[in-house]
Structure 1
Amino acid sequence: MIYYRNIGQIKAMTFDLDDTLYDNYPYIIRAEHALIEFLGSFADDPSHSHPGYWRDHRRATLKKKPELHSDMGMLRREVLTSGIQAFGHSGHALKSAVDEAFDFFYFERSNFQVSTEVTDILSKLGERWPLVAITNGNVNLEQIGIADYFQKSFHASLAFPMKPNSAMFDAAKKLLGLPAESILHVGDNLEKDVLGAKKAGFMSAWYAENRAMSLSGEDVTVLPDLQLQHLSELCDLN
């Protein structure tokens, strides 16, 4: 563990999820590939569903509704609607196809289990402090086996813009009923998590599950209070 600053008394912890508690990349890539193949069933020619086709619809959707950058679920539903409609579907058939594809993706996106090593750490931490999840993504915490370790999870949305915006941090602080300076946020991204936490007045711990942690390889605008070598080091804090 590396201390960049002295920290105060910890009374609660908030956690990022993707790439902090697990390496998200293989799961999201697998789910995206599965979805594109699945969406071919709605086209006259399955080959019409390919990555470039869906990238085009995503770009067009964000150009029309840039606010959806903060709501991955709503963005995906809008892109699915646009793309499937262009296949020739309309009315009830369109809505049914979008719902089916949406549910398919979010099952596949969360079709894994967090390691027992990590859940054991969360269990130990939860015996000492209240824990809250704060994520820019939209993984299903129940499906991946970690919902019971958190008092609540906040997902980025139109109401709660993505980190480093302070909205989800502020919501967690209000839920916990604690001053910001007594909450430690743990996350892998030095901008979204560390800078976001510092802007909200939280303490911050930097930990990445998906890559070697070297400041020389990161875009650094602010240093964390702590840099962890392993997630279990959180259990050694007072």
Structure 2
Amino acid sequence: MIIYRPLQPITALSFDLDDTLYNNHRIMVRAERALLDFLHLEYPDTATHGIEFWRQIKAELLQQRPDLHNDMGELRRQQLYQGLHSCGYRSETLATATQVAFDYFYAQRSDFKVDQSVCSLLDKLAQKLPLVAITNGNVNLEKIGIAGYFSACYHASMKQPMKPHTCMFNAAQQHLGIPTRQILHIGDGLRNDIAGALNAGYQAAWFAANRPMSISDEPAGVLPHVQLDRLEELLQLVNN
């Protein structure tokens, strides 16, 4: 543990999910491959199109509608709609295919369980103080086995811009009903999580589950209050 800034008393915790509580990259790679196989099988007119076709559609959508950056679910839905339309699907078939493919991907994207050691830690922390989740993604907390530890979960959407925007942090603080300076946010992204939390008046802890942690190698020049070597070190912080 490295402490960069003095810590105030902590009476609540907020957590990022992807790449903080688990390595999300391999999960997304697997889900993307499963979706592509599903599309090729269920909608044969897509069979000649590989992953680059879908990535190009995503890039074009984001160029046309930058606001879709704030809602991964809506971006995925629009990507599927545009791609299936390009492959010749129309009318009710297009609408149904878009929804079916979206539901399949969402199920695949949440088809894993958070490690038992992390669940055990969340359980211990939740017995001491309230926990909330603040995520730019759209993972299903029930399916991955951690919904019961959080009193609320905030997903980025068209109405709630993604971190580092302070919107979700503000909503979480209002839900908790305690001063922002008493909330510690834990996340892997120095820009999205740490800078976002600091701008919202939170304290911030940096922890990444998906990569070696070297703060000098990170893209944002901001310091958290504390850098964790292990998530379990949170127990020391809330016990002080």
Shorter-normalised TM-score: what interval? over 0.9
Letter in 1 for 2:131: L
Equivalent positions of 1:1-238 (< 5 A) are: 1-40=1-40, 41-44=42-45, 46=47, 48-237=48-237, 238=240
Deviation at 1:34, TM superposition (A): 1.0
* Number of equivalent positions: 237
Q: Cα RMSD between the aligned structures?
A: 1.0
Residues 47-86 of structure 1 show CA distances to partners (whole Å, capped at 9, x for unaligned) of x231111112112222222210110000110110111111
Q: Tell me the TM-score normalised to structure 1 length.
A: 0.97
For structure 2, list consecutive stretches of 5 or more residues without a partner in the other structure: none
Q: Which amino acid aligns with 2:132?
A: V
After superposing on structure 2, the runs of 4+ consecutive aligned residues of structure 1 that deviate more than 3 Å are none
Alpha-carbon displacement from aligned partner over 1:120-158 (angstroms, at most 9, x marks no partner):
000000011100000011111000000000001101111
Distance 2:139 2:61 in 1: 22
Deviation of 1:35 after TM superposition, in Å, equals 0.8
Identity of aligned residues (%): 49
What is the CA-CA distance between 1:45 and the residue it aligns to? Answer: 5.8
Distance in 1 (CA, whole Å) between partners of 2:62 and 2:38 is 23
Alignment gaps of 5+ in structure 1: none
Deviation at 1:216, TM superposition (A): 2.1
AA paired with 1:104?
A: Y
1:207 and 1:4 mapped to 2: Cα distance? Answer: 14
Distance 1:234 1:131 in 2: 12
TM-score after normalising by structure 2? 0.96
Find the aligned partners of 1:220 and 1:207 in 2 and give their Cα distance. Answer: 14
